Structure 1
Amino acid sequence: MSRFVNRREELKSLKKHLEGKGFELIVIYGRRRVGKTRLVLEAVKGTSHVYYLAVEGENLRHFRETAERTFPEVRYAREDWEGTLHALKGKVIVIDEFPNLIKENPGILSLFQRIIDTDLSNSGTKLVLLGSSVSMITEKVLSYKSPLYGRRTGSLKLRPMSFFSLREFFPNAAWKELVEVHGLTDGIPFYINRVRLPFWGWLEEELSNPVSFFRDEVDFLLRYEFTEVSTYKRILEAIANGKTTPKEIRDFARMRHSDLSPYLRNLMETGFVVREVPITERESSKKGRYYLADNFLAFWFRFIYPNLSPIEEGTFDVETIRRDYPHYLGPVFEKIAREFLIKLNKREKLPFKFTRIGRWWHKNEEIDLVALNEREKKALFVEAKWKDLSEREATRILKDVERKAKLVRLDGWEKYYGLIAKNIEGKEELREEGWLVWDLGDFPHYR
């Protein structure tokens, strides 16, 4: 098993729930591969527990067989869920992929509700339910319509780890290479643990591997949530190719307006897609744009999906990816820059403490990152560039940010202007002029 990395706050919180005296019903969910199972197994390490991975059918029988290995007394219990869970009263019980139980028997939710209310709620039982089907967990387990509503004592949507966590996986890597790795893996532990350095050598070897996880991974992820995979793939491919407005997506996927909306809604609910509006707009703004939620999806649809045939034939050249990779890393680096600013903000290393951060755009004008403190009326405008910049180029970009900031119409606000890039010559001189500038050389101080 790979080394457990990061997740310190989540692990601490989960252990606190599990070590208490009262009943706990904890729901942990998130996209597949994000590390839910590993987190829980780390939390129960050294504690007698039942861990059961739910399957397509006969889950009661399989669960009892699993539980008996740790707690032999279960074999004498009545052979139904009530009798089995009563025999495990006071124990730690982990049921992974709980949605499979719901698929097998939708009545399991009401059954668990009754068992909790009549038998477990006054005990020290710890019941942990995990799920990768985000839509099913939110709709069937967490919503107010669920029979389990009001019974849970804690829930956690596990998200990808931060870019800066990569340093713990690859302590000797250069920051440039970590950005390249992040462009493929995002913060998904399953993918990170497969990467070996040097990155490009590993990628070439992986793409020539006949059993590489690359080939079927996205189909695997989509089939877990949807039945009509081909339509969802067309929409995701559109977004990966820079089609971010509903009209652009419709045109690319050749769909009608009325057809697209439910698909986009489902993709957002399941965590494949996010919708953003300019930071100065309300969430209901018609200026919303759609983006893929993680870098692995973006990488797959940008580089793997269009090249599946040559990859299968063994004729694909990894240089095809390498040539286009700097351009692809532009949006990836924007997200890293956002993480970096949030780190600076927490450590109070900026001229003011911001309370909101996001993108801004209007017509053909865009600013990568705008950080606001609306109470103090202070704003920071930042461009992120995955480039090596001379002092002259950096100055030009900063002055253009200053120009675009006037279009945001924050009259009377105190404004600051910044730039985050791969490398910036003359950083100190630019800072002396009052600009806020950082590059990869500054990352080690704030990881």
Structure 2
Amino acid sequence: MKKSSTQFVGREPEMKRLKGLLSSRCANLIVVRGRRRIGKSRLLLEFGKELKSIYFTGNPPMKKVTAQTQRDVFVRQLERVGIPGVKADDWGNIFWHLSKHTEKGKVLIVFDEISWMGGKDPQFLGHLKTAWDMYFSKNPNLILALCGSISSWIEKNILSNTGFLGRIVMDLVLDELPLQSCSAFWHPKESCITPHEKFKVLSVTGGVPFYLEQIKPNLSAEQNILELCFTRGGLLVREFDDIFSDLFSRRKGSHKELVTCLANGPKELVQICKELGKSQGGLYSQYLDELVKAGFIKRDHTWDLKSGKPGKLSRYRLSDNYLRFYLKYISPNHAKIDQGKVSDSILNSLPGWEAIMGLQFENLVTHNYKILWELLNIPAEEVVMDGPFFQSTTTKQLGCQIDYMIQSRFNTLYLCEIKFKKGLIGKKIIDEMEKKRQRLKIPRYFSIRPVLIHVNGVEESVLDEQYFDKVIDFSNLLM
């Protein structure tokens, strides 16, 4: 594998799971999936340093790329790892030659972007299953990792495929890095940079490792954002189109429509279809599901407080900070960026920036829900349901929305208000939270614990009121 020059950050739980495979007494077939740029390949590269590793990747799905193209590319990669002379006419033959090269010893084989590699060949998965059963599985020290960004394809064709039933021993889904890991990308200046400045960058990048690797610690947050997002040829100027071309190919227009619709906030399916002039169900429900599985949006279900079971109502939320920032601020200025006509002061005049920062901060908090549980001293086994919660307006109740709510098995509701503000948060926040609490239809036997989550501090008057059971400064996670 190619050696990486950048520091490897985080992923301790995922690495622990992978290293656990090394003590196995039999061959292991695993799946590693997650959002583009989330660090799947890098994780396997780092893991592969402990054993012989061979890495293959599929060709991006362009117009002239065929099933034969993918076999040709694979065979050329075989040559580079010392397996020459293999004919590219049949996957069964290709896999047999690879298996002869990996019969003994500890070895990791990675098939990266598996959906590109085999998506156009109906025989690919059958040959892979046969090769696993007859050849690869015979080496008890072998690990074969099927890796990809298109989780919907992997679920349908591998995880739900009867041919692979009982063969996949691990389905490793990579999410964004937790906040505690993100400060390391400002090394060696992490202790000199304020959490507020780090949050500015994270409001654009989220916890996506590849984006965070582009940070230049000697530059301010504004300078980093300007270079990545508003400079001709900047990585995050091009990234949006690359994501949708690589992952969704011919259907990219429909997927772009959907994320654009969600840029200003969460919506129910009926709202989305109405705004786009589409009928409910059918292809657009499928496209939303693909975006959920690709890691770009989340489907937040409301739930019945009495039973603790999910309800029928749900909202789709754009959970990817980069996509929202692109749609709100890079896309409208794309022509100017390409012409090199964007002012260095553009960040001072972004419309609705404070409101968007609020949505981005909510994403960061909900991504880091496990840390939040720890800060609230709630063991995972006590959580019945959690997530952004909304109550619809009916003849019997008023509507309300809780940024994040936790229901414990001891009939306690933690109502979390997530607030991103440049200055200190004042007493007005208590009135806002109390209004939500009063609107929320709560069973009589439930206890309520309001929680305030902030970044830049609260006024003493808020603390003096002792309204909030817990006031959490999320900036401590970026110290």
Work out whether the TM-score is over 0.5.
yes
What amino acid is aligned across from residue 261 of structure 2 in structure 1?
A: A
Using a 3 Å threshold, how does the CA distance of structure 1 residues 181 and 428 change in structure 2: closer, same or farther? same
1:383 pairs with 2:383:
no
Q: Return the offset for 1:268.
A: 2.8
What amino acid is aligned across from residue 359 of structure 1 in structure 2?
A: P
What amino acid is aligned across from residue 356 of structure 1 in structure 2?
A: M
Q: Return the offset for 1:82.
A: 1.7
Asked if 1 retains the 8 angstrom alpha-carbon contact of 2:31 and 2:168, the reply is: yes
Matching residue of 1:209: 231
Q: Return the offset for 1:445.
A: 6.8
Asked if 2 retains the 8 angstrom alpha-carbon contact of 1:383 and 1:401, the reply is: no
1:223 pairs with 2:248:
no
Using a 3 Å threshold, how does the CA distance of structure 1 residues 95 and 324 change in structure 2: closer, same or farther? same
1:414 pairs with 2:431:
no
Matching residue of 1:332: 360
1:33 pairs with 2:50:
no
Matching residue of 1:252: 275
**Which ranges in structure 1 are unaligned for 5 or more consecutive residues?**
none
Alignment of 1:398-413 (within 5 A): 398-404=433-439, 407-413=440-446
Q: Return the offset for 1:43.
A: 0.1
1:359 pairs with 2:417:
no
Distance 1:392 1:237 in 2: 35
Q: Return the offset for 1:214.
A: 2.7
Q: Return the offset for 1:280.
A: 3.3
Distance 1:190 1:351 in 2: 32
Asked if 1 retains the 8 angstrom alpha-carbon contact of 2:55 and 2:109, the reply is: yes
Matching residue of 1:115: 131
Moved more, 296-305 or 357-366: 357-366
Asked if 2 retains the 8 angstrom alpha-carbon contact of 1:398 and 1:418, the reply is: no
Q: Return the offset for 1:193.
A: 1.2
* Higher RCO (CA-CA < 8 Å; seq separation 6+): 2
What amino acid is aligned across from residue 280 of structure 2 in structure 1?
A: H
Matching residue of 1:140: 157
What amino acid is aligned across from residue 197 of structure 2 in structure 1?
A: E
Q: Return the offset for 1:166.
A: 1.4
Asked if 2 retains the 8 angstrom alpha-carbon contact of 1:389 and 1:421, the reply is: no
Matching residue of 1:290: 316
Matching residue of 2:102: 88
User: What is the percent sequence identity of the aligned residues?
Assistant: 23
1:261 pairs with 2:285:
yes
**Which ranges in structure 2 are unaligned for 5 or more consecutive residues?**
60-64, 88-92, 394-398
Matching residue of 1:53: 57
Matching residue of 2:90: none
Matching residue of 1:237: 260
Asked if 2 retains the 8 angstrom alpha-carbon contact of 1:183 and 1:296, the reply is: yes
Moved more, 262-271 or 165-174: 262-271
Distance 2:294 2:379 in 1: 38
RMSD across aligned C-alpha pairs, in angstroms?
A: 3.0
Q: Deviations over 1:25-79 (max 9, x none)?
A: 1111112111000000000114222112222554455445544555x4x448896
What amino acid is aligned across from residue 101 of structure 2 in structure 1?
A: A
Matching residue of 1:278: 302
1:168 pairs with 2:192:
no
Distance 2:230 2:441 in 1: 48
Using a 3 Å threshold, how does the CA distance of structure 1 residues 426 and 237 change in structure 2: closer, same or farther? closer
Distance 2:168 2:95 in 1: 19
Q: Deviations over 1:349-379 (max 9, x none)?
A: 46995443222222342221221113x1112
Using a 3 Å threshold, how does the CA distance of structure 1 residues 288 and 252 change in structure 2: closer, same or farther? same
Matching residue of 1:314: 340
Using a 3 Å threshold, how does the CA distance of structure 1 residues 344 and 106 change in structure 2: closer, same or farther? same
Q: Secondary structure at the match of 1:105?
A: coil
Using a 3 Å threshold, how does the CA distance of structure 1 residues 299 and 95 change in structure 2: closer, same or farther? same
Q: Aligned residue pairs: how many?
A: 440
Distance 1:390 1:63 in 2: 57
Give me the TM-score of the superposition, normalised by structure 2: 0.82
Matching residue of 1:444: 476
Alignment match of 2:209 (pick from 179, 185, 189): 189
Asked if 2 retains the 8 angstrom alpha-carbon contact of 1:344 and 1:446, the reply is: no
What amino acid is aligned across from residue 329 of structure 1 in structure 2?
A: M
Q: Secondary structure at the match of 2:207?
A: coil
Matching residue of 1:178: 198
Moved more, 175-184 or 255-264: 255-264
Give me the TM-score of the superposition, normalised by structure 1: 0.87
Distance 2:478 2:244 in 1: 36
Distance 1:193 1:179 in 2: 15
